[in-house]
Structure 1
Amino acid sequence: MNKVEAKKVKKGKVVRYNKWGYIFLVPFVVTYLVFQLVPMVSTIFNSFFENYRSGLTQIGPNFVGLDNYKSLLGNSDVWKYLKNTAIMWIMGFIPQILLALLLANWFSNVRLKLKGLGFFKTVIYLPNLIMASAFAMLFFALFSDNGPVNAILINMGVISEPYRFMSHVWSTRGLVAFMNFLMWFGNTTILLMAGIMGIDMNLFEAAEVDGAKPTKVFTLITLPLLRPILIYVVITSLIGGIQMFDVPQILTSGSGAPVNSSMTLIMYLNKHLFSKNYGMGGAMSVLLFFITGILSVIVFKITSKKED
């Protein structure tokens, strides 16, 4: 067999082998097309139309161009709900990332020789496995006017009458932020642990030999080398924060009480979809997409820096 024939045989084997890769990709491609790409294109298409139901009368679909976007951008409520979403995300994310960094650095430090690490890792991750709706229902029962939290505070003499947690702006926002913190700090801890364990241990040993203190090691070695994972955590958390829906929806029964102070952008979008206003709902979805993309780019530019 000459070299030309050998190359043809080898090429044929590669082609026959590679086809299985394409075959395994078919389920993903079909799922993506049916459940993501087609709905996304349909949403963008509907955003340019007036299409809603007024009582029993169907209005549209009538092409209105960018009128839906102009209405949203000129609506002060949209910017108020964006502010609410940002406040509740920041209130939950800052303690989440600080505690996750502390626990990740603690759990991944082999010199401490901590016992029961597997148990503690499982325990901190368990809240992430609970459905957000169940979590919100639990907190709604705990912090209701006649709930156990008020009963404990009254019996301890801290308060003389039940405190209406759901009737005050910052207590409601605090509960939403606290629930998001509890549900996600374990997942963040696991991600940061993976990043720390990927750092060369020789760097830590060299720093220890040079007499560097733990705080110096953490700030000058761990944090700089952990930057890619931190960027990923911040951006994914930001995306999840903008899409915040189930916790405030259930905790406030969809009202965003008090005085819409806990109403998020997705809750506002849900109201348009519930009323079958597909034009405004589509425009709101596209607007959310652009807000998410812009904020993600800003976070990436701020947290990353060029290296020589």
Structure 2
Amino acid sequence: MPGTQPTDPIGDAFEAHRDRLRAVAYRVLGSHADAEDAVQEAWLRLARQDTDTINNLGGWLTTVVGRISLDVLRSRGVRPELSFDTQLPEFTVMLDDAPAPEELVALGDSVGLALLTVLDSLRPDERLAFVLHDVFAVPHGEIGAILGKSADATKMLTSRARRKVQTARQPAGAGRQQREVVQAFLAAAGEGRFEQLLQVLHPEVKFTVHTPNGTFVTLGATEVATRARVAASAARGHAATVNGRPGIISWSEDGTPLSVLAFTVTDGRITEITAVVDPAELALMDLPNPV
């Protein structure tokens, strides 16, 4: 009929699965950019595939995205990603008193931001098996097809990954305790109390600052304590959660972001501080509105 737009049933079917595929890839890879690339590659493979041979499009796409993600994880082991010293960290930032984004509420705490940090400790095959089975309920047989393992072997792999995750996840109240350590650090830095700073800093703490003039790294509690006023001056802002860790965002009066700080706290001491004060890098972040 005149004026009727041609339909693309395969494209429409793919779009119906896109959000889930993106969620799978992101939980496996921990990077929005890599997840988008994996989903795009899945679409390209689908476009080359004889769709008449696909009985379950959702399952086929999940398998393809899983294989692509596994290849990416394994390639990272051969070609490690650039360290935070030379690359801006991919921050996911949320104000502590703001409601969680709808997608996180829908997925639940089991796939929250803190879990991404825990998953980094797993081997690529463990990470893929755990995410696909425990988060997205993919049967062990289908996961085994991706990994080249039997369903029973995959089940054992998933169980091992689950035990590691359960061991690594923070106990109840850990977030509040970590925040208290950070507040103690900021208070001591603001008042210039050197000894108190040393008490909350791990002896091998790492302090990375991203500035307009480059990235600077300071190592060791004594050295970091002497530079703590940099963090204190940048930290007159709003408490936030940065990649599941305690952090601080500060803004200028016109709402322009001034800095983002993220703290890693282990066993009651700060082991790493990352500060971003470069306006160009801050502009690339999807920071929440202070209002």
TM more than 0.5:
no
Give the structure with the larger helix fraction.
Answer: 1
TM bracket, shorter-chain basis: under 0.3
Alignment TM-score, normalising by the size of structure 1: 0.23
More RCO (CA 8 Å, sep 6+): 1
* Greater Cα radius of gyration, structure 1 or 2: 1
Length-normalised TM-score, structure 2: 0.24
